[in-house]
Amino acid sequence: MSILISVAAVSLLTVFLTILIILGETVLANYGVCTIDINHGRKRLAAVGGTTLLSALADHEIFVPSACGGKSTCGLCKIQVADNARPVLPTEAPYLTNAEAETGVRLACQYKIKSDLSVVIPEQFLATRRYHGRIERITDLTYDIKEFRLALPPGESLEFKAGQYIQVETKPYGNVKESVFRAYSIASQPAEQRYVDIIVRLVPNGICTTYLHKYVTVGDEISFTGPYGDFYLRDGADQLIFIAGGSGLAPIKSLIFDILAQQLDKNMIFFFGAVSKRDLYYVELFNDLAEKHENFTYIPALSKPEPDDDWDGELGLITEVVARHIHDGENKHAYLCGSPGMINACIEILSQIGFSSDQIFYDKF
């Protein structure tokens, strides 16, 4: 009994002290207005001390990617505090490698501004903007994948590289009382100035995908920020291998169409892995493309077709199919997009075939 009372007393004391610290921080601490230096003088901003770096930057329309709204559960909003970074908080530790922690990398959502500071962020974040698109079209691509066309206001355009992504912001709906940001790769081409297409797979109980699949309709406004990401075409190889599964087709579609539109001298093979026929989409689009362009080959593959799928195409896991067609890594780059499991398996098989890590580019989601 006395042990129970002691445990309860210690717990109460801990809660009390935590509340006291939070109150002290919010009520008593006054850090004044602080200066944030970005990328060694590239930009200088004034920020109210006590706010987090993530929200201070967003107040100045610099949108660092974040999928959890500052709760420290996604680990996306990494930036580097250039001098005298404060120690890593327990809430940040799971997301930082030792090397990152030592070089001042911190989560912007957890780093409170308490004095002037200097940060280093990818230069592309300085070019990100908030956009207010309107849903122009919603297309059912499979039983759980929809494509959304977000029309931009007249006169506005989003400059991005094929393969990059945007962060869509939801509005509160149903029992979800808060807005969240989620990343979606752009499926349309950069040359298309008027709209942005995204391809979204419904995740059971997922906040954003439920919002997009079940709560929005044509004509609704969708806010998003972007562009982000380093999944784009690199120089240095004439033969390109694209591998995708599920909604991972989105950035690959953008890349392939962009390369063809620019008439780049590349030979391309696109492997799309699906379980059965009901998971395939845009088959006609890519078959047509392959007929029109002799430098483009399309290989859809099913790992477990249904008996009535009547499938006479490639069979097997996408790794097996890739291994049947690709025999060396010479003059080749591979671009992969899909689930972490699929990407990891593909990296392994490509390494066995002879690709080195600097010949493989991917976005996992």
Ligand X SMILES: Cc1cc2nc3c(=O)[nH]c(=O)nc-3n(C[C@H](O)[C@H](O)[C@H](O)COP(=O)(O)OP(=O)(O)OC[C@H]3O[C@@H](n4cnc5c(N)ncnc54)[C@H](O)[C@@H]3O)c2cc1C
Residues that bind ligand X (CB under 6 A): 165, 182-185, 198-201, 203-209, 229, 247, 250, 363, 365
Q: Locate all alpha helices (DSSP H) within the chain, ordered by sequence.
A: 2-23, 53-59, 98-102, 207-210, 249-261, 283-292, 318-325, 340-353
Q: Which residue is nearest to ligand X (CB)?
A: 206
Q: For residue 257, which of 173, 189, 182, 184 has the smallest C-alpha distance?
A: 189
* Dihedral sign, Cα of residue 243, residue 247, residue 253, residue 255: negative
Q: Closest CB to ligand X among 228 and 355?
A: 228
β-pair type (145-151, 117-120): unpaired
Tokens coding 258: 């962009």
Q: Closest CB to ligand X among 311 and 365?
A: 365
Q: Closest CB to ligand X among 199 and 268?
A: 199
Q: Where are any strands of DSSP class E within 213-266?
A: 221-228, 239-245
Q: Is 307 helix (H, G, I), strand (E, B) or coil?
A: helix
Q: Closest CB to ligand X among 65 and 329?
A: 65
Q: From the CB of 140, what's the least distance to ligand X, in Å?
A: 14
Q: For residue 321, which of 334, 304, 302, 335 has the smallest C-alpha distance?
A: 302
Q: From the CB of 142, what's the least distance to ligand X, in Å?
A: 12
Q: From the CB of 105, what's the least distance to ligand X, in Å?
A: 18
Q: From the CB of 271, what's the least distance to ligand X, in Å?
A: 18
Q: From the CB of 351, what's the least distance to ligand X, in Å?
A: 23
Q: Closest CB to ligand X among 220 and 309?
A: 220
Q: Closest CB to ligand X among 147 and 314?
A: 147
DSSP conformational letter for 85: P
Rounded to whole angstroms, the Cα distance separating 302 from 309 reads 10
Q: From the CB of 249, what's the least distance to ligand X, in Å?
A: 8
